[in-house]
Amino acid sequence: MSRLQVLYRSTRLPVHRSGAPLHVTPRQAGWEYVDFGVRQLAGGATWSSACMSQECCLVLLEGACRVEWPGGRAVLGPRATVFAAYPHAVYLPPGTAFRVLADGPCELADCRARSRKKLRPRVIRPEDCGFEIRGGGNATRQIVDIIPPSFPADRLLICEVYTPGGNWSSYPPHKHDTDNPPVEVDLEEVYYYRFDDPAGYGFQRLYSAHRDRTVKVGHGDLVLVPDGFHTFVTAYGYHAYYLNVLAGTRRSMAASDDPRYAALRRTWPAPDPRVPLVPAPARAAVGQSQVNSLRRTAP
């Protein structure tokens, strides 16, 4: 981490412009799988692309759009902001050409990972996503699974995490850089941040036995996690959102806690009453709710 750029900052484009204010390729990241970008479209604009040798998941961040591919189409949204509603997304396998048509100004997270598996496209509705309250006290956060390990994808794993102002998240600090299933698997990961107020900020720590780095993150920032332990805290008064995109050789999110803090999982106080920050749709709330989970997973 000391020699790699781990923090990338994006600049929001004017609403009448289309483009990619943020894009980090595997080559830029210095790893094998995760390719991440944010695509902004002006109202009425069209964006055409193809997955080629990668599987792809488009996650709607704001606005509304239509996605078309050979033999299928999906309507994503509306979603005013990531704090207003659960996500809409679409999964597309390698070799799929697609087109996005913006019904108004919109933004998408373009999440990809190298793959050769020809799986079928799938539309992911808000009610298909998971719902979990994890942690306790000022380490409480809300997890929204979009592509969990059980999802029929090849490498991609994706979730959204909501952290109330002043709270810790991804806590206790954990790592997933060693292939030792079922205890831990080796995963590349990105954290893409948004705050309920653009003035909001937080701090992410990334560390190992030989390196220790803490970065200040703001609205629209991206942090790469190639290895080592990591955790996050948001400033008092500002609710934080981050989109986690992970990929590796196994469909698992197994992680190892820093042993100095691992016991905290067994002594969580009551959850922060401010969560959920975003109410879950009925199906997600009834079918997939978990509180104070002890799963050894990344967020």
- What is the per-residue pLDDT across 41-60, written as a single tens digit (0 to 9) for each? 999 999 999 999 999 999 99
What would the mean pLDDT of 61-89 be, rounded to a whole number? 98
Sheet with strand 201-207: strands edge to edge: 212-218, 201-207, 229-234, 168-175, 256-257
What does the DSSP assignment read for 257-279? E-TTTGGGGGG--SPPTT--SSP
Which residues, other chains included, contact 175 with Cβ-Cβ below 8 Å and sequence gap of 6+? 184, 208, 227, 228, 229, 230, 255, 256, 258
pLDDT mean over 30-38: 97
Please give the pLDDT value at position 299.
72
Query: Domain 13-291 carries which CATH code?
Result: 2.60.120.10
The torsion region of residue 116 among left (phi > 0), alpha (psi -120 to 50) and beta comes to: alpha
Phi and psi (nearest 5°) for 4? -105, 145
Above 50 in pLDDT, residue 295? no
| Its pTM surpasses 0.85 | yes
Give the pLDDT mean for 197-203: 97
Range in 99-103, 170-174, 232-236, 286-290 the model is least confident about: 286-290
Arithmetic mean of pLDDT, 66-72: 97
DSSP assigned state of 52: T
Residue type, 293: S
Distance, C-alpha 188 to centroid of its chain: 12
Burial of 149 from C-beta contacts in 10 A (0-12 / 13-18 / 19+): middle
